[in-house]
């Protein structure tokens, strides 16, 4: 399960993942995270503040995108730095299908102390939802 620094080249692509976010997922994440902002579960409120519909928590998108890296390394403790910019909300319709988030990423640099930089791309409905998403990961 462990990825060795010596075996990784710049340009290495991580296995892509697709995550689904339904309204139920938003409720579950609200409870787990403590973020009860009504834009993430109350359609009436979301529309009152000018959103098209309920939107997902940016931090949930960040967490889903982070799974790309933790699934690759096997050890989530290997992530020493993880940052994203939220460019566009993930709109989550009130149906059973929800919204899909597609996540890809690749190693863009080998750094010191057995660390590598991974740049992550995340999109929903063909539109980028994260920018400047990158993780610094310590490999064995």
Partner 1 sequence: MALDESFIGRTYPPEPIYEVSREKIREFAVAIGDDNPLYRDAEAARGAGYRDVIAPPTFAMIISLTATNAVTHDPELGLDYSKVVHGDQQFIHHRPMVAGDRLIGQVTIDDIQSRAGNDMLTVRGEITTEAGERVCTSIGLMVARGTA
Between 40 and 107, whose beta carbon lies closer to partner 1? 40
Q: What is the DSSP letter of 33?
A: H
Q: How far is the CB of 19 from partner 1 (least distance, A)?
A: 6
User: Binding residue for partner 1 (CB under 8 A) from 3, 46, 64, 99?
Assistant: 64
105 touches 121 (CB < 8 A):
yes
**Mask 67-106, x = binds partner 1 (CB under 8 A)?**
x-xxx--xxxx-xxxxxxxx--------------------
124 touches 99 (CB < 8 A):
yes
Q: How far is the CB of 42 from partner 1 (least distance, A)?
A: 13
52 binds partner 1 (CB under 8 A): no
Of the candidates 122, 125, 120, the residue with the CA atom closest to the CA atom of residue 91: 125
Q: What is the DSSP letter of 15?
A: P
85 touches 14 (CB < 8 A):
no
Residues at the site binding partner 1, with contacts judged by CB under 8 A:
19, 25, 28-29, 31-35, 49, 58-60, 62-64, 66-67, 69-71, 74-77, 79-86, 132, 135
């Amino acid at each position: 399960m462990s990825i060795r620094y010596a075996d990784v080249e710049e340009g290495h692509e991580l296995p892509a993942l697709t995550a689904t976010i339904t309204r139920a997922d938003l409720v579950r994440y609200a409870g787990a995270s403590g973020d009860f902002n009504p834009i993430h579960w109350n359609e009436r409120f979301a529309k009152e503040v000018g959103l098209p519909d309920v939107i997902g928590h940016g931090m949930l998108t960040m967490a889903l995108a982070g799974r790309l890296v933790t699934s690759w390394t096997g050890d989530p403790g290997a992530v020493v730095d993880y940052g994203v910019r939220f460019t566009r909300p993930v709109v989550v319709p009130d149906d059973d299908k929800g919204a899909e988030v597609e996540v890809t990423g690749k190693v863009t640099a080998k750094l010191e102390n057995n660390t590598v930089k991974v740049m992550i791309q995340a999109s929903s409905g063909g539109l980028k939802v994260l920018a400047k998403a990158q993780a610094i990961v310590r490999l064995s």
